[in-house]
Structure formats: structure tokens, C-alpha cells
A and B are shown apart, each in its own frame.
Chain A
Amino acid sequence: MKPLLSVRDLRVWLDTARGPLSIVDGINFDIASGQVFGLAGESGSGKTITALALLGLLPAGARAAGSAMLDGRDLLTMRAAQRRRTRGREIAMVFQDPTSSLHPMLTIERQLTEHLRYQLGMSREEAYERAVHLLTDVRIPNPRAALRGYPHQFSGGMRQRIQIAIGLACEPRLLVADEPTTALDVTVQAGILRLLHRLCEEKDLAVMLITHDLGVLSALADTVTVMYAGRVVESGSTAQVMGGSRHPYTRALIDSLPHPEASDGALVPIAGDPAGPESRPSGCAFHPRCRYMEPSCAAAVPSLVRMDDGREMACPLDPLVVSRVR
């Protein structure tokens, strides 16, 4: 089936006084309709910048190259007018901090109906009814009363639901969610994850879920792509990547997390700090921290290789060597 979004060789770099600084170094992925695509990575991995590039929201001084085909149109080379139409209608974004992404001085009604009236040309009454419907969809109690309210009157979880409602207002095909639950309590997070799951199923919505939280990905994502220092290191179904990864970084990351079963013994950390754009090692970016490192790892950037079971991995080592620590 033809994918909804097809990204090929996406590169993002920053123009600095010391020359171009590569932040995303040529990544590829596909997202199908109704699929939750997980993009995993720590700080410096470039996952957020990838999302910003797709939406045309790169900060000043950053440039993108490559292609991102959404239904036959390249998101990266769109003109401003077309981009404005695409954002909201085809592709929408939900950010991490609902406090700063909602306008503190506009009512919820205003913030919800604004898009409806601008993008879809609805009248005030039509937009209002649709807003009520949207809030009901995201399970906000008393939608009509809520519309009259201001963001500060709602809790973090509620604000995140409102943000999702705003994102879904014009029925986009793809929702990009950047760390949507990181700032929320774990019990509230569970509610948002269930909400996203339901919306995905009901509306055939594709979701690009960007997070460092592997637990969240495991619960919600259908496929997971793991990024490190601007490159994809592994990609496959959630069960493959999280249930039985053979990539040293993914493996090490999962092993460093508190495991529900193994409560005894210390956690197994990864030595050093995550590599960022300014400190990207030569060859395989993870090699200085990798327990299986060999001298050849520093020489060349490993390419993403497709395995028999459909997953992709960028590590030249024999997968059998990378065994479970626990």
C-alpha cells in the first residue's frame, strides 16, 4: 500500500559561524495511514528537528534538503501559501508543553474555531458546533462550558487534550506529536495514550509519535524508528525493535531503563553522554559508548541494512553478538 508520507534522504543542517553543522544526516522512513509511527531518540538525536522540517517550522539558520512526499507533494519545497494550506488540513502538530502552545489570552472557542474558519471557511455557528464535537471527541467534560474558558483554567492533561482537538480540527491525515505526554503525570499520560489510540482507530489517522520514552512507544506505536545523533540506527515493528532488538544502542537503551520484572540489581547505564550535532564521533556515532565496539566502527558510517524479518539496522556487527544483557 502506498504510504501516506514518504521521507527520503532528509538532511537538516545549521549555518553557524564555524560552518554548516549537520543535525539530521540523511534519514528515510514511510508512514502509512492509520499507523502510529514512533520516532525514538534522546537529546541530540535530531528527532524534533525532523518533525519541524516536515512542518516547515525550522528555526532561523536551519536548512533542509531531501524529500518528504505527502500525497505526491513535497513538504520541503512547498511555497509558503501552499504550506499554510497543508498545515492543519493535511498535517498537524501537537507539542510537548501545552502551557506554551496554547494562547493564554484567547478563549478555547477562539483557538479551536480559528482554524475551522480560516482553513475550511466555516461560519461562526458551524465552527462552534464542530468545536463542541471536537471537545467531546477528546473527552473534555462540559464542552460548551469549556469553550468559554481560558487555558490557565485547565489542568495539564486537559490542555493536552485541547491541543489535540485543535490539531484534529480540520481533519488532517497525519498528526505529529512531539513528546505529547512527557510533561504529564503518569496517570494522566495513560489517558492521553488511550485517547490517541482510539482516535487513530476511529479516524484512520496516522500519528508520528516522537519521544524518548520507550514505554510510551511500546504502548502506542506500531512501528519504531530509533535515531541517534541525527541518523537512523534501527527501524522495524514495535515488537521487533523493543521486544528483541539486536542493535547495540537500542539494546543498551532498553537495558538502562528500569525493568518491571528485574527489580534486583543496579541499572545498566550507557557510559558517557548522548552525542549531539556538535560532538558527533566519526564513523558510527555511537561507537565510543558501545560495549561491542571494534576499531572498524570508527572508520565508516554504517549503512541501514534490511534484514530477513523486515527490520532495518545500521550496525556492521554480527547480530548474534549483541545478546541480551539480562
Chain B
Amino acid sequence: MSLLELRDVEVVYQRSDGTPVPAVVGASLDVNRGEIVGLVGETGCGKSSLARAAVGLVSTTRGSVIFEGREVHVLGRRARPASERRLQLVFQNPYESINPRRTVGAQVADAFAISHAQPRSSFRARVEHLLQRVGLPETMARRFPHQLSGGQRQRIAIARALAADPAMIVLDEPLSALDASVQAQVANLLVELARDLHVGMLLISHDLAIVRHVAHRTAVMYLGVIVETAPTDELWKAPKHPYTQALIDSIPHADGAGHLPVALPGEIPDPANPPSGCRFHPRCPRVMEMCRSEVPRLVAKDGGREVACWLHDKPPVFQQSADVPRVSP
């Protein structure tokens, strides 16, 4: 049994004019202990919505989110049940996810204060230990957020999540708001923590390149659908889905060679009005006739890989009998 299981999750939110926007459509994903799973995709792919659904910040209209064998509740007025506190989320923007008017030490100690498990007198030592764990000096506990840099603040956010003794942490674009030279620091920290504390991580990012260095497995999302999942190395060496290939090809390399990255034609469609059949078909360089009308299924392949593409799947055989289920668009 995986630590975190997402099964056919669907997340719909309402636009201001009332139109329902399906941000996530039938996404399934597993994360195990000590494993870092990267979830990459571009704007409108729904990865942030999926991240929030995974921890119960938003509700799912369909599908299930199971953590440690139990269904995750959506956060309402009541306090979050203790069993779910081992499932944490680190937000993208370290400037907004930390209260500017409290010391960082007090905020890291929140999980201790809330759980009432140990006396207040023990907080200080435990906070200092956590700060050390994330590579910050112990004296930082007394400082206020504005005295810290972006990278330091993000480490505080991670320390705060660690205080809850999590088994699983979802991180929503934790590196995007940081400088390039600092991203590497925090990325290495995440790898260390997953390894040393045996914590499972779901790392959401638009930066495929850095996920490559951090994640054991990577899932690629496009317009609300997970199109491919594979061990990270495999994904890079031999991507199966054309979108994954396009993503890899569009990354410019800092080698001074002057190669212009390949551009993907077209635009990302409006999630409220997705294309029929395979959502990627209008932009796919290897589109086939069937792609326009039939929605590809996420099919398991060798080596722990999954891909949703008619290039790697036999088309369903259409029979007259009614008990063969039609793939719904």
C-alpha cells in the first residue's frame, strides 16, 4: 500500500462568471515512503489544484485521496484530524506563507503547540534542532521573516512542516520563487530529508530540469490529465508521450552553444473547453486520426511506467455488444 494514493481525482472550480473549470480530470498517482515524485506541467495543467486536493485544502468532485490507508478529509471549520497532520504542504511563495508579524521560531513551533504532546519548555530545543536540520543557524529562531532571504524563508517553511513529524510532504513549486544559485541548495535539502527521514514527497514544479535532479519518479501533466509517469531517468532517456518529448526539447541548455530550443506550436487550450479525444492532439507532432475522438487511457508499461497515448496503446475494439464500455470523452 502506498503512502499517498490519488485515484481518478477530479477537481472542478468555479470561475467568477459561474463556468465550471475542470482543473484536474481523472488523475491517479502514488507516492511511497522515502520517495520523491515530481509532478511537472505548464500553466493550466492542474498540478497546483492536484496538490491542494492531495492535502485536503480543496475538495474533489470525484475520485479519492488516500493517505496511510485512510481517506483524506477536506479542511472545514473543524481542526484537522491528528491522523492527517502527518500529511503536510509547503507553499510556493515563502513571502506569503509565513506570517510577517511573528518570529520564525514561533511559527516553526506551531505544530508542537497545537499537538499539546510535550511541554512548552521543550519547544526551544526542538525548534533549534529543526533549524539545524534544514541548514539554518539556531539563532535564527528569534528573527522576523523580513530579516531572512527567500531561500532562508523557504527553509523555515520546510522546517515548519517537519515539526508536524510528517510522513508525506506535498511541495507546491517550492523552488520557483528562489534565485538560481539558491534553488540548488533547497533542492539538495529536499533530497537529504527524503532520504534521512524517510519522508515521501510530491514535488510540483514547472521546471522539468531541476525535478530531474531531485525526483525518483516523475509524472507529466497536461491540461488536467496525467499523460506519463516513469522513473525519472527513464523519462528523460526515452520519453514515450509526445508532450514529454516537447517539454524536454524546449528547455534551453546553458552550454554556450547557441541552440534555439524547439517551440511547440499552438497554445495551451482553455481548461473549461478542452479539445475532444486526446487533449494534446491539436499540438501533437505525431497525431493520428483516432486521437481526435478517443481519449487515451493511462496504460501501464514495463519498468513501472505509465503513459496515456494512442502511440503506445492498442485502440479499443468496438463491438456491437453493449457490455463493452465505450471510452467516454
Direct contact of A and B (CB under 8 A): yes
Chain A residues in contact with chain B, CB under 8 A? Answer: 42-43, 155-158, 185-191, 193-194, 197, 212-220, 238-244, 252-254, 256-258, 260, 263, 266-271, 273-274
Cα A185 to Cα B266 in complex, Å, equals 13
Cα A241 to Cα B256 in complex, Å, equals 7
Cα A150 to Cα B95 in complex, Å, equals 31
Cα A150 to Cα B80 in complex, Å, equals 44
Within the complex, the shortest CB–CB distance from B302 to chain A, in Å, comes to 20
Select one of A187, A213, A239, A266 contacting B250, CB under 8 A. A187
Please state if A42 and B268 are interface contacts (CB–CB under 8 Å).
no
Please state if A215 and B251 are interface contacts (CB–CB under 8 Å).
yes
Please state if B181 and A253 are interface contacts (CB–CB under 8 Å).
yes
A residues in contact with B236, CB < 8 Å: 263
Please state if A217 and B254 are interface contacts (CB–CB under 8 Å).
yes
9 closest pairs, A vs B, by CB? A243-B256, A242-B256, A269-B184, A215-B252, A214-B254, A185-B42, A267-B184, A258-B209, A190-B263
Task: Decide if B185 is an interface residue (CB 8 Å cutoff).
Answer: yes
Task: Decide if B149 is an interface residue (CB 8 Å cutoff).
Answer: yes
Within 8 A of A (CB), among B151-174: 151-152
Please state if B263 and A191 are interface contacts (CB–CB under 8 Å).
yes
Please state if B253 and A218 are interface contacts (CB–CB under 8 Å).
yes
Within the complex, the shortest CB–CB distance from B147 to chain A, in Å, comes to 12
B247-264 near A? 1/0 per residue, CB < 8 Å? 100111111111111111
A residues in contact with B180, CB < 8 Å: 42, 212-214, 253, 256-257
Q: Give the dominant DSSP class at A's interface.
A: helix
Select one of B182, B233, B247 contacting A187, CB under 8 A. B247
Residue from A191, A219, A239, A268 with most neighbouring chain B CB atoms (10 Å): A219
Please state if B256 and A260 are interface contacts (CB–CB under 8 Å).
no
Please state if A155 and B182 are interface contacts (CB–CB under 8 Å).
no
Select one of B42, B187, B209, B264 contacting A260, CB under 8 A. B209
A residues in contact with B247, CB < 8 Å: 186-187
Known contacts: A258-B209, A263-B236. The answer to whether A216 contacts B149 by CB under 8 A is no
Select one of B213, B233, B252 contacting A216, CB under 8 A. B252
Task: Decide if B323 is an interface residue (CB 8 Å cutoff).
Answer: no
Known contacts: A185-B43, A190-B262. The answer to whether A256 contacts B184 by CB under 8 A is yes
Cα A254 to Cα B257 in complex, Å, equals 14
Please state if A187 and B264 are interface contacts (CB–CB under 8 Å).
yes
Task: Decide if B267 is an interface residue (CB 8 Å cutoff).
Answer: yes
Task: Decide if B188 is an interface residue (CB 8 Å cutoff).
Answer: yes
Nearest to A189 among chain B residues (CB) is B250
Select one of B209, B250, B252, B267 contacting A157, CB under 8 A. B267
Please state if A190 and B152 are interface contacts (CB–CB under 8 Å).
no
Task: Decide if B113 is an interface residue (CB 8 Å cutoff).
Answer: no
B210-224 near A? 1/0 per residue, CB < 8 Å? 101100000000000
Within the complex, the shortest CB–CB distance from B189 to chain A, in Å, comes to 9
Known contacts: A212-B180, A219-B252, A258-B209. The answer to whether A190 contacts B264 by CB under 8 A is yes
Nearest to A44 among chain B residues (CB) is B179
Cα A298 to Cα B208 in complex, Å, equals 38
Cα A215 to Cα B188 in complex, Å, equals 21
Task: Decide if B299 is an interface residue (CB 8 Å cutoff).
Answer: no
Cα A319 to Cα B293 in complex, Å, equals 60
A residues in contact with B232, CB < 8 Å: 263
Cα A263 to Cα B252 in complex, Å, equals 16
Known contacts: A263-B212, A263-B236. The answer to whether A274 contacts B181 by CB under 8 A is yes
Cα A187 to Cα B45 in complex, Å, equals 13
Cα A213 to Cα B180 in complex, Å, equals 8
Select one of A155, A242, A274 contacting B255, CB under 8 A. A242
A residues in contact with B209, CB < 8 Å: 257-258, 260
Nearest to A276 among chain B residues (CB) is B149
Please state if B258 and A42 are interface contacts (CB–CB under 8 Å).
no
B residues in contact with A240, CB < 8 Å: 256
Task: Decide if B311 is an interface residue (CB 8 Å cutoff).
Answer: no
Nearest to A187 among chain B residues (CB) is B264
B residues in contact with A274, CB < 8 Å: 179, 181-182
Please state if A42 and B256 are interface contacts (CB–CB under 8 Å).
no
B residues in contact with A241, CB < 8 Å: 256
- A–B complex contacts, Cβ < 8 Å, 15 sampled: A186-B42, A186-B207, A186-B250, A190-B264, A191-B263, A193-B261, A215-B253, A219-B253, A219-B259, A242-B254, A258-B210, A267-B188, A267-B213, A269-B187, A273-B179
Cα A256 to Cα B181 in complex, Å, equals 6
Please state if A268 and B184 are interface contacts (CB–CB under 8 Å).
yes
Task: Decide if B191 is an interface residue (CB 8 Å cutoff).
Answer: yes
